[in-house]
Amino acid sequence: MTAAARAVTVGIVLGLAVVAPSARGQDVVAARAAFAAGQYDAAIRTLRGSESGDAVRLLVRVLAEVGRYDDAIDAARHYEGRAPGSPDVANVLGEVLLATGDLNGAEGAFDRAASDGASDSLDARYNLAALYLMTGRVDRARPGFDEFIDVYNRGGRLSSEELTAVASAVWDLSVLDWRLAEDALRAYDEAIAADPNNLEAQVRVGNLFLDKYQGTEALETFEAILAKNSRHPGALLGLAHQRRFAGSPEAMGLVDRALETNPGLVSALVLRGILFVELEQLDRAEEDVSRALAVNPNALDALTLRAGVRFLRGEGAGFEDARQRVFAINPRHAGFYTALAELSVRNRLYEEAVEFAGQAVRLDSLSWSGLQLLGINQLRTGAMDEGRANLERAFAGNPYDAWTKNTLDLLDTLQTYDVSRSQRFTFAIDGKESEVLAPYFAEIAEEAYDRMATRYGYRPEPPVRVEVFPDHQDFSVRTVGLAGLGALGVSFGPVVAMDSPSAREIGEFHWAATLWHEIAHTFHLGLTEHRVPRWFTEGLAVYEERRARSGWGDRVSPGFLRAFLEERLHTVSELNNGFLRPSFPEQLIYSYYQASLVCDLIAQDHGADVLTAILRGYRDGEATGEIFERVLGMDLAAFDARFEQYVRTRFARPLEALESAGRAAGGAAHSAADLRRLAGERPDDFVVQLALGQALVAEGRFELAIDPLRNAKALFPQYAGHGSPYALLAQAYRETGAPEQAAVELRALTALNAGDYRALLELAELEDQLGNRQAAADALDRAMYVYPMELEPHRRLAELAEEAGNWEIAVRERHAVLALDPVNRADALYHLARASLGAGRLDEARRYVLWSLEIAPSFEAAQDLLLEIHDARANR
Amino acid sequence: MNRRMLVLGLAAALIFPAAGAAQTYLLVVGGIGGEPTYRERFQVWCSALVSAARDQLGIADDRIVYLAEDPERDPRIDDRSTKANIEAAFADLAQRAEPSGRLVVVLVGHGSTTGNVPRFNLPGPDMQAEDFAAQLSQFATQEIVVVNLASASGDWVGALSGERRVIVTATRSAAERHETVFGGYFVAALTSEDADTDKDGRISLLEAFEYARREVARVYQRQNRLLTEHALLDDDGDGSGAHEPDPATGDGARARTWFLTEADVTAAQPETDDSVLATLYGDRARLEGALAELRARKDSMDAAAYEAELERLLLELARTNRSIREREARIPG
């Protein structure tokens, strides 16, 4: 700019300042207040027709915030038409042009504002540098950002807007030095202190917290903004990100609210598209991508999502087209590959995630998120050393990444675990537990592998790695990088991670069924090349649990049937939503069971092999509807109808018994007398009959409790969950001196629900008392698959096995006793030696008895055993 | 080994008392229970202890003094567990105990601390650790065991520790104020086969302590609760107890050889007039000594050589013991 031009510009600015009446200044103040409060229409009304640069700048910002981009551009152009050469609104015009994809126009506008001395030139300089970065001109962007450090350090008085620009520039530079993020936060704080109504600065603070995994601070920041302006699209969008990060289903609603304020907010449309991808609803995701690109055809995030959707659909050419468009805009856009890696993870495509993240890192060695994704997904695919190395690099670049830090901490823990191997599996188990758990885990895992390999005609490449975490938070970190995951296990395909039985309350979950379930996922993921939708693999995994052993897997409950009656369950075509976005707390659990019933129905109507055919359809890229039509010969609507009929038939009696239950039935508010009356009036009401039985048991009136409990059982014989008629009847029979009948009830209960640890122990005790030693041993054996960490059940099972001459079981159980750190170690070693001798393992027997006598040399029985073993070895 | 054999083991020890057998005097004090649950619990522990002492450990009735909150609850209770009665009991025992005698004091109840002064809660005025220390000073030559099974009992170690003393507390400090379960397991351990970890047919104080400590940890783990009681044992007189005593390095050496049975547990070899048996006893003692020596050298030996030598000695010991049993069975009486 020449000196003359500068003078002209100053003159125009001064002139405008002179002609603008003071009332207009007051209007701008009022409009600014309305804008900050989310009263966008009022702000626009106030500013319409204003002629001052300040007012028009604000007007453009308000119009842009509600998505009226064309109006915003018109307002800016109109102003520039009246004040040719004025840079006053160039920066905001540039922002709108950028938001609508006119990159060249935006660059020119920013350049003008930055060069021609506009009052917001500092902001323009930031926008220009950011645009350079966005378009891959890193060499121009970084010096631009660098200047802001000088600007700040010069110590001159900066406006709130200018401090925001400084903070944003410093944040961008923090990729080079993570410590700068702290400076960025400080500058944002100063910006907000200078103008508490600078909501844009506050949104950026929230996003900075999100970037640094400080979800709580981000939440508080966004909520504080929304307290001032409940319609603020940036805050709503930020909060949506935060909720998604926390796994909350609220994210979608928040995005919708952001889009109500600004239907053309590209970043919100992209986030909603991502949420649809996560729900495996690719059509809806693509619709949002198209909307976003209609607003801004050069939006990198929208083009990236388009590429992602096409990748997930297997549309190679379409993917390549989108990819080329992205790289035509920014040849160094590592974010393209990190986004694809994330989408791949969401769709359980871990190998692909490794590939994409690797490309991101190759494109930009400072892509810390790329390194993080690379490392995490290498760990998921079993490449432990490479994964750790990349995570350490990621951590060096961005130590704020909680996922990276947590995972590195976890790897430190994992290094201390014992590693054992079976034919097709590797087990990493905490050293305190591995001796007890490893034999059981190996037995179940190998059996599962053999049975499923036969069924599916597919063999996952060994070894499959199984990690078992005694601390649930470690499992959670392994799975999602952060604490707080509610699941019990996860399969990444070649790697399975799960809670140890000791990670939960005693008997809280059936570890063996969980392991079986996760191994089923490993088969499904491998067979379909990770293309199986969540609902189907979950349903099929539960179905596999039920096929594994009687009583394994999810079971029907009154709650599920009530949800069915009240039409709160998804149709099969929408079942994925029940897993990915449950609309009420129990829906996730019900969805597992419902999906397994779908598999039951398919197997019943079409044969179990059809389930494998469906998996192959997914592998070949077919959608559920296409597969069902081809394989089952019916469309999804017809299948939905068939499923409804199936449930009504299969559970006809309990559905009737629940349908007739009045709302007043049961509950603590009723006395036994009330319940007796109600039970008399409603003999077919499951809830009333059970509630009466429960009340009478609680009162110790066991004889009287038996009839209503038997009624309840007859009405809903499939129910064996908590507080079932079986459990209460067993109690009543025991209390009334009828152990045989109590055993009958417990046998029935545990046949339906093999996860009831206490019932299994109780049954074992009863069978023992009744002289049914084999049945007692069976019950104890089943109990080990729920909770193998208690010493006494192992000891008793060992004794029963020894009595029956079942020496292999005896050896396993004596090993378990020893591993559970008995007080009397010499005794435990002696018994292990004796069992080993029984099993013909003379060398092991010798070793164990020597260890026993080393502790207790005068242990007579062990001395005799040593002599016996010595003779046996001499004579072999 | 079953329980019957364990008792026989004890009986065998009683049959062959050594000349220097020391008499054991037992003072059991049940403190104030407060709530019915604790009254019941303390009563059960105390009664079980008294029964075990008399019926299985061989301590004569007249050397057992049992004081408790409510004498009506058990005819064996000698008096109410007031401070005055406890002091009187100490005075009486000090009069009666031989210079080489042994005194065992077991406190069952609630503990507390007021102004850093550890107390044991009694009907009427409480007794402080210092009060007990003063009472124990009357036993200048006797071996003394004090077992305080109360909550907040950890500081009693420092107050009572000394030469010829084994002090056991249910907690490691006054800060562990929650009710303890250690006592139940400790009392059970005194007669439990499971507690006899070296399988010598007797349960040492160390074995009882270890058994109770580990069972407490197990029960807390099972209930998924943070461990709020860490029992201590001090027997080296340094005023500092160990939660995991190691006789090789500090606390535990004395407790390992301390048995509540009446027999002299240090007797290395039973007496006999039978020369064959005497020789066998001698062989056994030699082999046991060789084994102890071998185990002491374990870390410096090649593993295979150690195992071979261990097996050789153990086989010889097993054969010797078998011969001893056969010979003993042939000797009448």
> B315 and A857: CB-CB below 8 Å?
no
Q: Is B268 part of the contact surface with chain A (CB cutoff 8 Å)? A: no
> What's the whole-number average pLDDT of chain B?
87
Closest CA to B32 of B170, B125, B118, B113: B125
Give which of A211, A205, A203 is closest to A237, Cα–Cα: A203
pLDDT digits (tens, 9 = 90+) for A47-72: 988 889 999 999 999 999 999 999 99
Instruction: Assess whether pLDDT exceeds 90 at residue A28.
Output: no
Collect all residues of chain A within an 8 Å Cβ-Cβ radius of residue B311.
846, 850, 866
B315 contact residues in A (CB cutoff 8 A): 866-867, 870
Question: Which residues of B fall within a CB distance of 8 Å from A825?
Answer: 197
Q: Residues A270-284: pLDDT tens digits?
A: 999 999 988 878 899
CB atoms B200 and A827 under 8 Å: no
Which of B295, B314, B325 has the CB atom closest to A866's CB atom? B314
Confidence check: pLDDT of A213 > 50: yes
Specify the higher pLDDT residue, A773 or A875.
Answer: A773
Where is B24: in which H helix or E strand? strand B24-30
Quick check: B316 contacting A, CB < 8 Å? no
- DSSP structure string for A752-774: H-TT-HHHHHHHHHHHHHTT-HH
Asked if B312 has any chain A CB less than 8 Å from its own CB, the reply is no
If one compares A771 and A473, the residue with the highest pLDDT of the two is A771
CA distance A528 to A517: 16
Q: DSSP assignment, residue B231? A: -
Q: Report how far residue A443's alpha carbon sits from residue B1's, in angstroms, rounded to the nearest whole number.
A: 32
Residue of A nearest to B189 (CA): A823
Task: Please give the full DSSP string across A120-150, using - where no structure is assigned.
Answer: THHHHHHHHHHHHHHTT-HHHHHHHHHHHHH
B56: its two tokens: 């299985």
> Cβ contacts (< 8 Å) between B318 and chain A: which residues?
863-864, 866-867
Separation CA A300–CA A323 (nearest Å): 10
pLDDT one-digit tens code per residue, B251-284: 999 999 898 876 544 445 677 888 999 999 999 9
* pLDDT(A770) > 90: yes
Q: What is the ipTM of this complex?
A: 0.72
Cβ-nearest to A853 among B314, B319, B325: B314
Mark out the alpha helices in A469-608 (DSSP H runs).
Answer: 472-480, 511-527, 534-548, 558-565, 575-580, 587-606
Q: Of B161, B157, B166, which is closest to residue B256 (Cα–Cα)? A: B166
Q: What is the pLDDT of residues A629-668, one digit of tens each?
A: 999 999 999 999 999 999 999 999 999 998 866 554 444 5
**Rounded mean pLDDT, A832-836:** 98
Q: Is the distance from CB of A839 to CB of A810 less than 8 angstroms?
A: yes
Q: Give the β-pairing of A464-469 and A489-491.
A: unpaired
Cβ of B222 within 8 Å of Cβ of A790? The answer is: yes
Q: Which residues pair with A464 in a beta bridge?
A: A425
**Distance from the A784 Cα atom to the nearest Cα atom in chain B, whole angstroms:** 15
Burial of A33 (0-12, 13-18, 19+ CB in 10 A): middle
Contacts of A216 (CB under 8 A, 6+ apart): none
Least confident of A13-17, A77-81, B49-53, B63-67: A13-17
Q: Do B197 and A823 touch (CB under 8 A)?
A: yes
In this complex, the residue of A821, A858, A864 whose CB is nearest that of residue B200 is: A858
Query: Inter-chain contact B314–A850, Cβ cutoff 8 Å?
Result: yes
pLDDT (0 to 100) of residue A505: 85
Q: Locate A708 and state its tokens.
A: 């209503």
Dihedral of CA atoms A124, A126, A132, A138 in degrees, nearest 10, equals 160
> Residue A629 carries which DSSP code?
I
CB < 8 Å to B224, chain A: 505-506
Interhelix angle B182-189/B36-51, rounded to 10 degrees, is 20
Whether the predicted pLDDT of A312 surpasses 60: yes
Who has greater pLDDT, B11 or A347? A347
pLDDT band, residue A783 (cuts 50/70/90): very high
Query: For residue A379, what pLDDT is reported?
Result: 92
Chosen from B197, B200, B323 to mutate, greatest number of chain A CBs within 10 A: B197
Alpha-carbon distances, residue A543 vs A539, A598, A600 (angstroms): 6, 9, 7
Q: Check residues A184 and A248 and name the one with the higher pLDDT.
A: A184
Nearest to A824 among B194, B218, B318 (CB): B194
Mean pLDDT score across all residues of chain A: 91
| pLDDT one-digit tens code per residue, A698-756 | 999 999 999 999 999 999 999 999 899 999 999 999 999 999 999 999 999 999 999 99
SS3 call for A699: coil
CA proximity to A567, closest of A682, A659, A501? A659
Helix residue ranges per DSSP H, chain B: 3-15, 36-51, 83-96, 129-136, 156-160, 182-189, 205-222, 253-256, 275-296, 303-330
d(CA A71, CA A64): 8
Q: What is the DSSP letter of B204?
A: B
In this prediction, residue A809 carries a pLDDT of: 94
Longest dimension (CA), chain A: 118
Residue B307 has pLDDT above 90, yes or no: yes
Chain A residue numbers touching B319 (CB-CB < 8 A): 867
**pLDDT > 90: what percent of chain A?**
78
Q: Are B199 and A825 a contacting pair at CB < 8 A? A: no
A855 and B295 within 8 Å at the Cβ level: the answer is no
Q: Is pLDDT of B1 > 80?
A: no
Measured in angstroms, the CA of B315 and the nearest CA of chain A are apart by 7
Asked, as a colleague might, if the bond just before A463 is cis with ω within 30 of 0, I would say yes
DSSP symbol at A570: P
**Chain A CB contacts of B193 below 8 Å:** 824
Give percent of chain B above pLDDT 90.
67
The token pair that represents A88 in the structure block: 């006053």
Residue B2 near chain A (CB below 8 Å): no
> Are the C-beta atoms of A624 and A579 separated by less than 8 Å?
no
Q: Is B8 on the interface with A (CB under 8 A)?
A: no
DSSP B166: E
**Confidence (pLDDT) at B9:** 31
Mean pLDDT in residue range A134-160: 91
CA angle B42-B47-B52, nearest 5°?
Answer: 130
- How distant, in Å, are the alpha carbons of A85, A814, B323 from that of A540? 68, 36, 66
**Could you say which of B193, B215, B310 has the minimum Cβ distance to residue A854?**
B310
DSSP assignment of A227-285 equals HH-TT-HHHHHHHHHHHHHTT-THHHHHHHHHHHH-TT-HHHHHHHHHHHHHTT-HHHH
Judged by CB atoms closer than 8 Å, whether chains meet at B222 and A866 is answered as: no
